[in-house]
Structure 1
Amino acid sequence: MRAGKLRHRITLLRGVKVHNRTGEEVTEWQPVTTRRASVIAVSGSESDADQGTVAHIVYDVLLRYLDGVTSDMRLQTGGKTLEITTAYDPTGKRAQLRILAKEVK
């Protein structure tokens, strides 16, 4: 993997259950690690919702291999928060990690 293609900085986030001031259990997203990656929007669609049209964008994120990334996590890049839908090793050689993610509105 060529380092020059990893031009985006991403931060992986893990959800942690905490209690707010009123005692409700809420998910707080805490940073796990920051890495360099390639982030490309690969598809998009729109759907109608009660509040109007909603855009859905799917991103392909490629980075050096990192163990422990799951679909329970999120990532942030360029002011956007992305929900990880799948993370896998495309070659099986533990050299790179490919993440498919959708933007959280």
Structure 2
Amino acid sequence: MAAGGFCKLPNGTVVVALNLPSPVVDAATGVRVLVLAQNRARALTRLRNLGLRAVYLRGNAAPPTPDEITAVLHHPDGLIWRTAPGPTAPAVPELWRPIRSLLRKPVAQP
């Protein structure tokens, strides 16, 4: 994991942002995942319960931006992702998506 960080909100909840490699999206870029939870440990537990076992947050190198915080606060699940910014990422950022669209198993084509 290249970068990650967190931001504690005035109501006591925490928004955790992580850059993760993704087998679905371009491996060089990866994905940026945002999680809203009561604390950092619960945010990481939410990701681990979805099957992302090797997720750790060390330091606060890339905390969520105000736009990212707004996006995760307005999503009903409080768990979203999009392609991480990088050299191959588009100039215009794409929309945030629910985490289930990332973890959905691809349908086998005959």
Please indicate, yes or no, whether the TM-score normalized by the shorter chain is above 0.5: no
* Greater fraction strand: 1
More helix per residue: 2
Could you tell me the TM-score, scaled by structure 1's length?
Answer: 0.28
Task: Select the structure of larger CA radius of gyration.
Answer: 1
What TM-score, normalized to structure 2?
A: 0.28
